[in-house]
Amino acid sequence: MKSFMRIFLSIFLMQTLYGQTSLSWVVVSDLHYYSSELGTNGKAFESYLADDRKLLREAPQLLEAWIQEVMQLNVDFILIPGDLTKDGELVNHEAVRSALQKIKKNHPRQPKIFVIPGNHDLNNPEAFRYEEDKTLPVAYLSDKDFAEFYADFGYRDAFSRDTFSLSYAVRITPDFWLAALDSTINESNRMLKHPVTEGRLKPQTLKWLEGIAQEAKKSNATLILMMHHGLFEHWPGQRKLHPEYLLNNRKDLAKLMAKYRIRLVFTGHYHSQDITASVVDKETLYDIETGSLVSYPSPYRICSLEDAFLTIQTSTVSIYPGFEEYSRQYLIKGLTGQALNTIRKYGVPDAEGVKIAEDVAKGFAVHYAGDEPGVTFSPTGKEMGARARFILWYQGYVIRGLQTDLLPPDKNLRIHLPTGAWSNL
């Protein structure tokens, strides 16, 4: 009986705490903004797109369309978990900053906007402009300048800054706090001559975060997190195929979150509209990943917190009739080409390789959209040669895994923050 009363009292106190907070916010991620003044035609630019099929030409239009939608929403703040630019180009950062200033100036609610860098945003030696067949370097933003550059979008409002990274913490309200975590590894970009895709939180940053969590607990404040890299696997096999999209020391962060009952982390990086929940030390934690504005289906999230319930809904941006299907086909075409190039290395004839590559690309399109329906296509290779059958035996898990949804729902759901339980909308 005493045990029951302790549990009941604990839930009651948590319900009372969360019930005091009423907020709404938007999450948009991986803008990958690209200014047309850097070049959108010619052999060099087309060659880049062939290996990276983001909707770069449409990036300015997509950002503007999203801004127009946000202007109609009653939001208190906006989260942007990194990859603000194509490759850290200064001119692209300037355009993003100008766009965000436009929101703050013209939105009726003048919402706070909080940013954090992604792996493309800092010290990036792949910051280029394209002229016909030439790829020419341009100025990029450094890690030393990022906080000052985006001072109006989180850093100036921070009550605490991590001295070992670009992480910071803000009190959105007295009882609702955000810790924005810098998970990038950008120190070696110049030496490697390309940006590092993988991410981690430095030990010192984790120690700093624990201090913030302790302070939030003492203040009876809810703490949420934002970072670029994923915390949990979002499809069965992601850790095997793409470990660089998940935080290297994710177990350490998850344990810290469970210890202080930090339920939510908002992430990006993989360009999929996907939510994964995991129970860590008896606490249910949520990795709420938001897709990319420049990748099908150009989604963003609308979140509202009321009476201890967090409601999450998905909306998508379109810039003309039929754009969503165009972007889907654009993605499939581009990823088919990339997958086929890999399959060719195994000596698979194109007649068979194209079929496998198309299924891989369609699988990614399903995963990007979220709420995967389950495995509806999975080639067996019965009519194919030995090399193709080997590929399907060795990598077939990718096609199946991308179509498999890990709980909870990805687009629209409700989470009871005191207990971590979720339900459909």
- Please write the tens of the pLDDT for every residue from 323-379: 999 999 999 999 999 999 999 999 999 999 999 999 999 999 999 999 999 999 988
pLDDT at 343: 95
Residue 8 has pLDDT above 50, yes or no: no
| Residue 381: band (very low, low, confident or very high) from pLDDT cuts 50, 70, 90 | confident
How far is the C-alpha of 157 from the C-alpha of 170, rounded, in Å? Answer: 6
| Residue 18: band (very low, low, confident or very high) from pLDDT cuts 50, 70, 90 | low
Same domain for 397 and 340: yes
The mean pLDDT value for 26-36 works out to 99
CATH for 142:
3.60.21.10
User: What's the structural domain count of the chain?
Assistant: 2
In this structure, is residue 9 part of a structural domain? no
Same domain for 268 and 164: yes
Residue 15 has pLDDT above 70, yes or no: no
pLDDT at 3: 46
Residue 153 DSSP symbol? G
For 47, other C-beta atoms within 10 Å of its C-beta total 12
In this structure, is residue 360 part of a structural domain? yes
Considering only 2-16, 270-284, 337-351, which range has the smallest mean pLDDT?
2-16
Residue 6 has pLDDT above 50, yes or no: no
Same domain for 250 and 393: no
| 174 burial via Cβ count (<10 Å: 0-12, 13-18, 19+) | exposed
Residue 120 has pLDDT above 80, yes or no: yes
User: E strands within 249-353?
Assistant: 264-267, 274-280, 283-289, 299-306, 309-316
Helix crossing, 386-402 with 350-369: angle to 10°? 10
pLDDT at 42: 95
Same domain for 137 and 39: yes
How far is the C-alpha of 268 from the C-alpha of 265, rounded, in Å? Answer: 10
Same domain for 365 and 241: no
pLDDT tens digits, residue range 75-114?
A: 999 999 999 999 999 999 999 999 999 999 999 999 999 9
Same domain for 65 and 37: yes
The overall average pLDDT reported for the chain is 95
In this structure, is residue 86 part of a structural domain? yes
In this structure, is residue 377 part of a structural domain? yes
Give bridge partners of residue 280 from the DSSP assignment: 283
| 388 burial via Cβ count (<10 Å: 0-12, 13-18, 19+) | buried
In this structure, is residue 1 part of a structural domain? no
Same domain for 165 and 67: yes
In this structure, is residue 268 part of a structural domain? yes
Provide, rounded to the nearest whole percent, the portion of the chain with pLDDT above 70. 95
How far is the C-alpha of 160 from the C-alpha of 26, rounded, in Å? Answer: 23
Residue 5 has pLDDT above 50, yes or no: no
What's the sign of the alpha-carbon dihedral 70, 372, 285, 251? Answer: negative
In this structure, is residue 4 part of a structural domain? no
Considering only 18-27, 191-200, 368-377, which range has the smallest mean pLDDT?
18-27
pLDDT at 401: 98
Same domain for 216 and 147: yes
Residue 63 has pLDDT above 80, yes or no: yes
Parallel, antiparallel, or unpaired: how do β-strands 274-280 and 222-227 relate?
unpaired
The one-letter amino acid code at 125 reads P
- From residue 400, alpha-carbon distances to 239, 348, 360, 385, 405 in Å are 15, 20, 9, 21, 10
Give a three-class secondary structure readout of 182-198: CCECCCCHHHHCCCCCC
Same domain for 195 and 85: yes
Same domain for 262 and 357: no
Q: Report the Cα 114 to chain-centroid distance in Å.
A: 14
How far is the C-alpha of 82 from the C-alpha of 31, rounded, in Å? Answer: 8
Residue 320 has pLDDT above 80, yes or no: yes
Residue 126 has pLDDT above 50, yes or no: yes
| Residue 20: band (very low, low, confident or very high) from pLDDT cuts 50, 70, 90 | low
Helices and strands, counts by H and E, the chain: 12, 16
In this structure, is residue 2 part of a structural domain? no
Same domain for 330 and 309: no
Q: What range does the domain containing 214 cover?
A: 14-319+410-424
Nearest partner of 226 among 287, 157, 294, judged by Cα: 287
| Residue 53: band (very low, low, confident or very high) from pLDDT cuts 50, 70, 90 | confident
How far is the C-alpha of 40 from the C-alpha of 35, rounded, in Å? Answer: 9
| 376 burial via Cβ count (<10 Å: 0-12, 13-18, 19+) | exposed
Based on its alpha-carbon atoms, the radius of gyration of the chain, rounded to whole angstroms, reads 22
Residue 14 has pLDDT above 80, yes or no: no
Residue 12 has pLDDT above 70, yes or no: no
| 236 burial via Cβ count (<10 Å: 0-12, 13-18, 19+) | middle
How far is the C-alpha of 234 from the C-alpha of 410, rounded, in Å? Answer: 10
Contact in structure between 61 and 50 (CB atoms under 8 Å)? no
The one-letter amino acid code at 273 reads Q
How far is the C-alpha of 130 from the C-alpha of 136, rounded, in Å? Answer: 6
Same domain for 277 and 367: no
Residue 192 has pLDDT above 60, yes or no: yes
